[in-house]
């Protein structure tokens, strides 16, 4: 029996393509993905890897506008696309666009099972805003079930009295085989690539948007707090771009000895080089529903320093890394010092990262989505 499944999601993210490919390849699943937009140039500069897509999909006409910190996205043809796809199960990635509410209403009127694919956690700072939280609760109350990305998201959904049998875990994933394979080839020609990318011999790595909520100012202050002789031998690399870049660069010029590099935004295909040559990934975020850069770094065999509020922390950080409190520069500097001066610890954590991330494959994520579709098909 084939379950006709439609997934409604915001954009063609490179990390979702292998998940949807794996889902479409599963026996008993007939998948169609409806994207609200191809990409979002205002906040993300991802390359769209359309040539890698192996599933049925469409991109709806859209209008997008950035208003302050809010990202407005309006779509035409939401209900007509759903009617044409004729799903038995509809999985919606998020609740923060008008299209999500239209899809939920369409599913209710057409008696189609509606699942929310949620990454929200209790640490999500958006939960501090009453109007947002009120709308979220209203949306969740009308869902037939939930797909969550990991332990923190599971616990969050359970707060809304969602029954356990209607919650399915689809572990957040990236293409771990792609990153692992590139890591091996890169390390065979490390010196040449290091010269090509203008990377220092040793460095801590940050990957993400250069915005305050990512903890980037904590990171540069923690680097400044390291002993001067250590800063003279290890650098800091910010792989990303964003509105705080100029201010961070000004702070970096004041640090001596030491060096801080800003290569700008790095696409997926080039990121493996930055991971493979780094000593450690540092993710000092103040709020983050997951943090897929941790998955990528682990696939490349990197130790991780991560704040305990990141959605991925409960699932991905074990013996492979160090958890710290957000906005705690002292803890962050101590963790960086420990990893920079303990090659034995780095090697142990690197080995653990490579082992642990195997459970977070695209196939494992697809299996969680398929379980939701198959459960509703039997009930």
H-type alpha helices, the chain: 17-24, 78-85, 98-109, 130-141, 151-158, 176-188, 190-197, 216-225, 228-231, 245-253, 268-277, 292-299, 313-316, 329-341, 343-356, 362-377
DSSP 376: H
Cis peptide before 156 (omega within 30 of 0): no
Q: What is the pLDDT of residue 137?
A: 87
| pLDDT less than 70: residues of the chain | 43, 68-70, 125-129, 161, 376-379
Rg (CA), the chain: 21
Tens digit of each residue's pLDDT (9 = 90 or more) over 41-93? 776 778 899 999 999 999 999 998 877 666 789 999 999 999 999 999 999 99
Same fold, 3-173+361-377 and 176-359: yes
- Which of 292, 308, 304 minimizes the C-alpha distance to 351? 304
Q: How far apart are CA 106 and CA 287, in angstroms?
A: 32
DSSP 125: G
Residue 283, SS3? strand
Q: What is the pLDDT of residue 214?
A: 98
Phi, psi of 188 (to 5 degrees): -75, -25
Question: What fold is seen in the domain 176-359?
Answer: Rossmann fold (3.40.50)
Q: What is the pLDDT of residue 324?
A: 98
Q: What is the pLDDT of residue 180?
A: 93
Q: Give me the residues paired with residue 146 across strands.
A: 116, 167
Which residue's structure tokens are 């057409």? 110
All structural domains of the chain with their residue ranges:
3-173+361-377, 176-359
Which residue's structure tokens are 């993400």? 208
- Residue 194 burial by CB count (10 A; 0-12/13-18/19+): exposed, middle or buried? middle
- Which of 26, 94, 86, 84 minimizes the C-alpha distance to 55? 26
- Which of 171, 170, 125 minimizes the C-alpha distance to 145? 170
CA distance readout (Å), 207 to 45, 119, 256, 276: 13, 20, 23, 13
By the 8 A CB rule, do 100 and 75 touch? Answer: no
CATH for 3-173+361-377? Answer: 3.40.50.2000
Q: What is the pLDDT of residue 377?
A: 45
Tens digit of each residue's pLDDT (9 = 90 or more) over 265-282? 999 989 999 999 999 999
Phi, psi of 266 (to 5 degrees): -125, 125
Q: Which strand ranges, in their side-by-side order, compose the sheet holding 145-148? A: 56-59, 29-35, 3-9, 89-92, 113-118, 145-148, 167-169
Q: How far apart are CA 206 and CA 290, in angstroms?
A: 15
Q: What is the pLDDT of residue 2?
A: 85
- What count of Cα atoms within 13 Å lies in the side-chain half-sphere of residue 180? 17
């Amino acid at each position: 029996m084939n379950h006709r499944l439609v997934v409604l999601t915001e954009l063609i993210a490179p990390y979702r393509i292998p998940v949807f490919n794996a889902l479409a390849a599963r026996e008993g699943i007939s998948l169609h993905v409806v994207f609200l937009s191809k990409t979002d140039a205002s906040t993300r500069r991802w390359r769209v890897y359309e040539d890698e897509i192996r599933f049925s999909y469409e991109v709806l006409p859209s209008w997008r506008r950035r208003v302050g910190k809010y990202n407005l996205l309006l779509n035409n043809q939401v209900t007509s696309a759903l009617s044409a796809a004729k799903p038995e199960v509809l999985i919606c990635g998020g609740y923060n666009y008008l299209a999500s509410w239209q899809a939920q209403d369409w599913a209710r009127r057409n008696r189609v099972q509606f699942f929310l694919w949620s990454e929200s956690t209790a640490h999500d700072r958006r939960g501090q805003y009453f109007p947002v939280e009120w709308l979220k609760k209203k949306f969740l109350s009308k869902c037939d079930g939930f797909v969550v990305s990991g332990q923190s998201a599971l616990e969050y959904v359970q707060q809304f009295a969602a029954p356990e049998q209607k919650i399915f875990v689809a572990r957040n994933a990236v293409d771990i085989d792609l990153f692992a394979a590139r890591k091996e080839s890169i390390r065979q020609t490390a010196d040449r690539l290091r010269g090509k990318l203008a990377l220092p011999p040793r460095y801590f790595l940050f990957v993400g948007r250069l915005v305050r909520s990512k903890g980037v100012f904590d990171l540069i202050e923690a680097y400044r707090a390291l002993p001067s002789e250590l800063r003279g031998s290890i650098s800091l690399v910010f792989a990303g771009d964003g509105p705080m870049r100029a201010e961070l660069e000004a702070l970096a010029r004041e640090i001596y000895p030491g060096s801080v590099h800003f290569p700008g935004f790095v696409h997926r295909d080039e990121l493996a080089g930055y991971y493979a040559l780094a000593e450690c990934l540092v993710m000092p975020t103040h709020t983050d529903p997951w943090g897929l850069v941790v998955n990528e770094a682990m696939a490349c065999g990197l130790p991780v320093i991560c704040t305990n509020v990141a959605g991925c922390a409960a699932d991905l950080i074990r013996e492979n890394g160090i958890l710290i409190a957000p906005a705690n520069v002292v803890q962050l500097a101590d963790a960086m010092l420990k990893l920079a001066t303990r090659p034995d610890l780095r090697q142990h954590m690197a080995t653990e990262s490579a082992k642990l991330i195997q459970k977070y494959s695209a196939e494992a994520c697809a299996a969680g989505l398929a379980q939701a579709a198959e459960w509703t098909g039997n009930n």
